[in-house]
């Protein structure tokens, strides 16, 4: 039985490279190319697997890029449950400027899924043998998939007694909170969209997170704040961890690294505060890796002692 099953309904090949400077109207001679399996849930699976979790990644695949996605996921020693679709899997691009340290991220639209295809993904989760401890639904919804797709997954998870974790945005996020989940991991922008107000400081952040808990939207809210750190809020506690001072090599995958390490920690029997510590360390460790790579376990373990958590 898997500890974790991740669902990535809009996966991608994440391609990264570097160039001196991005300028218009010129051929830009790039450095070596790196390709990784991508999409929020797949990234969470990659991190959890690096820590030793037994994880299964569920995702649709189409065309030549879909075949490559499956091979790259296999390379990460992750068990895949891939659902065939007619259209080509998407590819995203990250280009880093070596002269300035700036990073440009180009996110392409996903393939359109037919009703039969997205229902096949839903059915694959519902009929999954065994009962994982956690299901992590992460990332955007591609064209053709209804806004309440994650809500349907949450309903099935709740009925099966599996803890549902969600990291999404926009209409998909607003729809899933109505179903109620175990853990939400919004960014500050996403929390503002849910609260429909500015949320100008720590007190507002905690209040908005706690309202999600008291309204039955989630038992735990892990709010990532970029260079301001992160918050963990439940009905009974609120914890804050400032960001670890690190000069970033790449910001790609920091949120997914945070979530992957945190869910692995919870699966390992750690308490919420310790899991939060691992999440913050992993999000920081992701900043040390180039391109579309994610956190390395050795960096996470090294940074654990630098995570300072205080009760609010």
Give the tokens for residue 276.
């939060």
Structural contact between residues 312 and 238, judged by C-beta atoms closer than 8 angstroms: yes
Give the tokens for residue 53.
């979790």
Report the largest interatomic distance among the alpha carbons of the chain, rounded to a whole angstrom: 57
Question: Which residues touch 217 (CB under 8 Å, ≥6 apart)?
Answer: 177, 178, 180, 181, 184
Structural contact between residues 56 and 5, judged by C-beta atoms closer than 8 angstroms: yes
Structural contact between residues 262 and 273, judged by C-beta atoms closer than 8 angstroms: no
Residue 64, Cβ neighbours under 10 Å: how many?
9
Structural contact between residues 228 and 254, judged by C-beta atoms closer than 8 angstroms: no
Structural contact between residues 6 and 57, judged by C-beta atoms closer than 8 angstroms: yes
Choosing from 36, 256, 293, 299, which is the catalytic residue?
Answer: 256
Strands 230-233 and 34-38: unpaired
What whole-number distance in Å separates Cα of residue 141 and Cα of residue 299?
Answer: 32
CA angle 229, 233, 234 (to 5 degrees): 160
Based on the residue annotation, tell me whether 293 is a catalytic residue of this protein: no
What are the Cα distances from residue 150, in Å, to 174, 175, 245? 10, 8, 35
Q: Give the active site residues.
A: 256
């Amino acid at each position: 039985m898997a500890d974790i099953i991740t669902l990535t309904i809009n996966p991608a090949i994440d391609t990264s490279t570097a160039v001196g400077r991005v300028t218009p109207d010129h051929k830009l001679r790039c450095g070596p190319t790196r390709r990784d399996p991508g999409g929020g849930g797949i990234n969470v699976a990659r991190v959890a697997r690096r820590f030793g979790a037994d994880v299964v990644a569920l995702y649709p695949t189409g065309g030549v890029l879909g075949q490559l996605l499956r091979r790259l996921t296999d390379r990460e020693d992750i068990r895949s449950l891939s659902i065939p679709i007619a259209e080509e899997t998407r590819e995203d691009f990250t280009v880093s400027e070596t002269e300035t340290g700036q990073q440009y991220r180009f996110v392409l639209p996903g393939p359109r899924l037919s009703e039969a295809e997205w229902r096949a993904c839903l059915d694959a989760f519902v009929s999954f043998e065994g009962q994982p401890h956690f299901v992590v639904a992460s990332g955007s919804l591609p064209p053709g998939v209804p806004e309440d797709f994650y809500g349907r997954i949450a309903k099935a998870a709740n009925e099966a007694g599996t803890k549902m974790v969600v990291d999404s945005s926009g209409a998909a996020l607003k729809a899933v909170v109505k179903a109620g989940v175990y853990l939400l991991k919004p960014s500050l922008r996403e929390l503002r969209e849910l609260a429909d107000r500015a949320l100008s400081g720590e007190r507002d952040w905690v209040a908005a997170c706690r309202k999600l808990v008291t309204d039955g939207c989630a038992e735990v809210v892990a709010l990532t704040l970029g260079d301001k750190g992160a918050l963990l809020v439940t009905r009974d506690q609120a914890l804050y961890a400032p960001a670890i001072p690190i000069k970033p090599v790449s910001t790609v995958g920091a949120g997914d690294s945070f979530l992957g390490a945190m869910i692995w920690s919870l699966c390992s029997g750690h308490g919420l505060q310790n899991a939060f510590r691992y999440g913050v360390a992993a999000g920081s460790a992701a900043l040390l890796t180039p391109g579309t790579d994610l956190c390395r376990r050795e960096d996470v373990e090294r940074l654990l002692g630098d995570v300072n958590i205080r009760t609010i």
